[in-house]
Structure 1
């Protein structure tokens, strides 16, 4: 690990009131690298900005919920990028420079609603949402998100010659819907759900990776359309994601599977989909051997980093 100390921002006095927080713009402006870490802390104490209301405050959370820390400085002082993996969504794969710890994923965060994105990332945690570890704000005000490593996406499954069995498909869809339901209970709609942003690991866990793209103003109709297109790609590799929703060979699937697919095009009710008979076939254990098979047979676009220093994504 570099000797340069990391300084965690978003001090938790923002939690002292339900509707107060330090705006991201103020934090980013204070992220210029000081000559010494203690100088930075002193400046924050002496010139603390007036408390202002943020459009997206950090809500009061249960004590057991740990906020994802926001850290001032470059992630490349502490991590080394090994390669970039492109499976529809692009991630850098990194390892700690001190050799301690496992590999993680890193990507940049940007957009006009950056406040809302960061607050969602910091607060939301669920077994079917990719675990976020740290957020870095560099001196040039670039935002980097470090997350747990997940080896494949559902896009890789689409690029592999094999299809999921019905117990595997049921387990994949059940876990995705559990993640979607969790987001909806927090007033967030994921309009752009796809095979590219749903990831899998060697334990058979299926997780949504980009909750920063969720919005409280999202349209459920767009969520339903994106989910039905994701299901279509998993059940029919011949179909393009932009094609008319449907299956070219429905006879390859059971009546229950086809009925569930049809429901995804008409029903926005997640609970109805979770309670469908097809979900009784789910078997997470059967996903464990699917991931290695995908890794061996799917097309992967990998860019190796041959430099000795980590570089921006």
Structure 2
């Protein structure tokens, strides 16, 4: 196996640490689908405010691979896609599994058809539908969460996203520190997404640990692209400052 294909493993909180104690059955099912059958961890909840030191590593941890990446200059941006919102409720097609708080309310769901994978459904006010739909169609890159579908009703707008069960926030909360290689692998993927945004004449503007998310295969992606907009003129780039804070939190475990 070449060094370019070598994987670095990082221990972190399993996804069930995010789940509400009000949904123990769904929590156990989701945990099993991600990391194996560990129902005893389903009742654990993630404390939303970080302390100045990491918590004891009492949660069951899953092994998530962070792939070694090519150089940022080798990254190829994805083409934008024109997403058309369906005029119906997403719950005609999807069924709810559970609700999470991932820098805002997120409903984990799956298609009513059998053997379908999990997705994340976010709801927005109708007034925000135009920008949200536009940005999720325009901002498409390997290191930015992918929008899969959209729905609109008289009262709400819904965007269906690929399901990313973990966030950098959880790594910061975990007592175990990432190694230098693990840290580099995470930051390279965030940088790749930010470079794409800069080339598009955009910045995220609200980047923090809670909206940088991970898959169980170690893919790191920037979430909430509805926050993206043109950079402020004659001001320090907000995303650069945010990346420094994220790096500090990963290395030193405090805000």
- Report the TM range for the smaller structure's normalisation: 0.5 to 0.7
What CA distance in whole angstroms lies between the structure 1 residues aligned with 2:167 and 2:238?
Answer: 21
CA contact (8 A) 2:178 2:250 kept: yes
Report what 2:96 is aligned to: 81
Bigger strand share? 2
Q: 2:214 aligns with which of 197, 200, 221?
A: 200
What CA distance in whole angstroms lies between the structure 2 residues aligned with 1:227 and 1:110?
Answer: 29
What CA distance in whole angstroms lies between the structure 1 residues aligned with 2:212 and 2:152?
Answer: 26
Report what 1:187 is aligned to: 201
Report what 1:230 is aligned to: 246
What CA distance in whole angstroms lies between the structure 2 residues aligned with 1:127 and 1:221?
Answer: 22
Question: Residue 153 of structure 1: CA displacement?
Answer: 0.4
Question: Residue 163 of structure 1: CA displacement?
Answer: 1.2
Q: Aligned pair 1:214/2:228, yes or no?
A: yes
- 2:133 alignment partner, SS class: helix
- 1:72 alignment partner, SS class: coil
| Residue ranges of structure 1 left out of the alignment (5+ in a row) | 1-63, 241-313
Runs of 4+ in structure 1 over 6 Å off: none
What CA distance in whole angstroms lies between the structure 1 residues aligned with 2:127 and 2:242?
Answer: 22
CA contact (8 A) 1:135 1:146 kept: yes
Question: Residue 222 of structure 1: CA displacement?
Answer: 2.0
Counterparts of residues 118-157 of structure 1 (less than 5 Å): 118-140=133-155, 142-157=156-171
Q: Deviations over 1:47-89 (max 9, x none)?
A: xxxxxxxxxxxxxxxxx75433311111111111111122444
Q: Deviations over 1:143-192 (max 9, x none)?
A: 11110111200011111111111111001001001001101111111111
What CA distance in whole angstroms lies between the structure 2 residues aligned with 1:207 and 1:197?
Answer: 8
TM-score, normalization by structure 2: 0.63
Q: Aligned pair 1:160/2:174, yes or no?
A: yes
**Aligned in 2, Cα 1:87/1:65: closer, same or farther, shift over 3 Å?**
closer
- 1:212 alignment partner, SS class: helix
- 1:199 alignment partner, SS class: strand
Q: 1:109 aligns with which of 113, 124, 129?
A: 124
**Aligned in 2, Cα 1:113/1:69: closer, same or farther, shift over 3 Å?**
closer
Question: Residue 109 of structure 1: CA displacement?
Answer: 2.6
| Residue ranges of structure 2 left out of the alignment (5+ in a row) | 1-78
CA contact (8 A) 2:213 2:222 kept: yes
Question: Residue 91 of structure 1: CA displacement?
Answer: 1.6
What CA distance in whole angstroms lies between the structure 1 residues aligned with 2:157 and 2:178?
Answer: 36
- 1:95 alignment partner, SS class: strand
Q: 1:67 aligns with which of 79, 82, 95?
A: 82
CA RMSD in angstroms, aligned pairs only: 2.0
**Aligned in 2, Cα 1:89/1:153: closer, same or farther, shift over 3 Å?**
farther
What CA distance in whole angstroms lies between the structure 2 residues aligned with 1:194 and 1:177?
Answer: 13
